[in-house]
Chains A and B, each alone.
Chain A
Amino acid sequence: MTAATTTPEAAVGVLPRADGSAKYSHAGYTVTASVNGPIEAQRRDEHAYEAHVDVTVRPAAGVGATRERHLESILQSSLSQIILVKNFPRSVIQIVLQIEDSPENDYVNTKLVQASLNFAIMPALIQTAVLALLSAAVPMRATATATAVATVRQGGATKTIVDPSPREVETAQSVHVFAFTSHDELLLAESEGDFTVKEWDDSYETAKAICCRPEPTKEGIAMVLDDETTAGPDMRHFLRLAMETKVASDLYWK
């Protein structure tokens, strides 16, 4: 569980020319996102009553193909749910996600650096997109946090792994990706592999504990971040911290 113990890192507003941007790295993945919008839509993307969310995923090497289109369609439908698309009819909100780095699989000797995308990268993509949208000040209904959970069967017992490495994804029985809004609503649930309803429920609970951990009570400085009962990073707290830093530096004059 080396990947799960690393803390996520983020930098907001890294690209000077874009309306909003963010760089996010966690569990071996590094993604940079830029957001532009609302801008004028092309005729084919134009919708009379809501903004079109245009997501582009670009792999670290090579050009995007079917896998990227699949990820884009999943991200597009999830992000349209949290962006207030009705506020900007006939416009486009353009999100470009550039994958910069993904963890290597030590067991497979891949000469080609060609992208091999899997579910494990989706939390990083969602998280970066949300940070970049916040940076661009695109009006949103809520924020979102995401995580990936793998279920591994070892000698009859099942074990859930948070933020699995490529090797763990390969050996896992099933991999699940969950995203939750800041209202604790399930935004995205994608699963692959063999699993029972019980296993899905366990994965769901694990993911929810990571994405929807309640705010620590601000009694003095008694903000315990890593207590024994919960494993993995506290995504919601992380998101808030990243944005607090950004807002404070923007409003230094206030």
Chain B
Amino acid sequence: METERLIVLPGETIDPSLIPSHQKLPLRLGPGLRHIPPSDIVPTVAGQLITNPARNSMWIEYNSQRYIPSTSDLILATVTRATPDAYLCTLSPYTPPATLPTLSFEGATKKTRPILTPGALVYARVTLANRHMDPELECVSAATGKAEGLGPLAGPGCVFDVSLGFARRLLMARSREEGGVGVLEMLGGEEGAAGGGGLAFETAVGRNGRVWVGSESARTVVVVGRALQETDRAGLGIEGQRKLVKRLVREVR
């Protein structure tokens, strides 16, 4: 826990002593910062300045609703239309469609390609994000040729909208320790002393602020989705999440 947050507004000057410097690594700027040559680094959004001296990087941590695509983000896209060589997908409402080439699925050839109907859900990676072009997606790892968890999301389930910051927290490798989200572990955990819900479900979290919850039981889908949305909206801590899970699991029985 830090003692004091360093909150910046757009256009404020960042104290040069806060900018990390490294012998070999180049300085990496993350979201919310822009570099004005020769040497100015200026925030463009309101948020907390985070620096990582070990990796020589800095970024602004903030929460928002509107997803702006960036390369190698995992996202949940909805197919809207099929063209001969690509599917057109939406990542967020009222934004230009992203293209998902029919060949960028595992094992897809010109003869065999996955058939996706409008409305189908796809878990994909952004391969091209450029302000002058519509984003491009892929459902296969270019290095290995394997799907690695990406692809169409079939089976019973439902999509829930959360804020982008919450989606990022869910995607953290250690989301409970770093992101302070333990709601999924709690819902899926063993019943009994640990206070787990003992529910069986699977999730796919997209950086575009959408979470797919899949389960054979419709009740489970609703409970998990509601738990996620309430945690996001009410800003619950670990203890609050535990109480919420307890309540929701009791209600559903």
Task: List the interface of chain A (C-beta within 8 A of B).
Answer: 16, 18-20, 36-40, 82, 84, 87-91, 134, 136-143, 181-183, 239-240, 243-244, 246-254
Query: When chains A and B are docked, how far (Å) is the Cα of A13 from the Cα of B34?
Result: 25
A239 and B9 contact, CB distance less than 8 A = yes
Among the listed B10, B32, B94, B179, which residue makes an inter-chain contact with A143, where contact means beta carbons less than 8 Å apart? Answer: B10
Knowing A139-B45, A141-B44, the reply to whether A37 touches B9 (Cβ < 8 A) is: no
User: In the assembled complex, how far is the CB of residue A252 from the closest CB belonging to chain B, in whole angstroms?
Assistant: 5
Contacts of B12 in A (CB 8 A): 182
Which residues of the partner chain B approach A39 to less than 8 Å between Cβ atoms? 66, 93-95
Q: With A36-B94, A87-B131, A251-B5 given, is the CB distance from A140 to B66 under 8 Å? A: no
Within 8 Å by CB of B96, from A40, A82, A134, lies: A40
User: Which chain A positions have C-beta within 8 A of B63?
Assistant: 137, 250-251
Decide if B44 touches A37 in the complex (CB within 8 Å): no
Q: Shortest 10 CB-CB distances between A and B: which pairs?
A: A142-B11, A253-B180, A137-B64, A139-B44, A250-B63, A140-B10, A39-B94, A19-B65, A19-B66, A243-B46
Contacts of B148-183 to chain A: CB distance below 8 A? 165, 169, 179-181
Given known A-B contacts A38-B68, A141-B44, A254 and B61 have beta carbons under 8 A apart: yes
- The contact sample of 9 A-B pairs, CB cut-off 8 A, is A20-B64, A20-B65, A140-B10, A140-B44, A240-B9, A247-B7, A253-B181, A254-B2, A254-B5
State the CA gap A38–B95 with chains docked (Å).
Answer: 8
Whether the pair A137, B62 counts as a contact (CB closer than 8 A) is: yes
Q: Name the residue in B9, B96, B235, B237 with the highest tally of chain A Cβ atoms < 10 Å from its Cβ.
A: B9
Contacting residues, chain A, for B34 (C-beta < 8 A):
84, 139
Given contacts A182-B9, A250-B165, contact A137 B61 (CB under 8 A): no
Q: Summarize B's interface: helix, strand, loop or mixed.
A: loop
Extra A-B contacts (17), CB below 8 Å, given A141-B10, A143-B10, A247-B48? A19-B64, A19-B66, A39-B95, A87-B131, A89-B131, A134-B9, A136-B65, A137-B62, A139-B45, A140-B44, A141-B44, A143-B11, A247-B7, A247-B47, A250-B62, A253-B181, A254-B2
Question: In the complex, what's the smallest C-beta–C-beta distance from A183 to chain B, in angstroms?
Answer: 6
A247/B62 in contact, CB under 8 A? yes
**Alpha-carbon gap, A181 to B12, bound state (A):** 11
Report if B132 contacts A (CB, 8 A).
yes
Partner of B45, one of A16, A137, A244: A137
Binding site for A on B (CB under 8 A): 2, 5, 7, 9-12, 32, 34, 44-48, 61-66, 68, 93-96, 131-132, 165, 169, 179-181, 233, 235, 237
CB neighbours (8 Å) of B237 from chain A are: 252-253
Query: Could you say which residues of chain A place their CB within 8 Å of the CB of B68?
Result: 38
Shortest distance between the CB of A161 and any CB in chain B (Å): 29
Query: What's the nearest-Cβ distance from chain B to residue A187, in Å?
Result: 12
A248 x B66 contact (CB < 8 A)? no
Contact of A134 with B46 in the complex, beta carbons under 8 Å:
yes
Q: Which residues of A contact B181 (CB under 8 A)?
A: 253
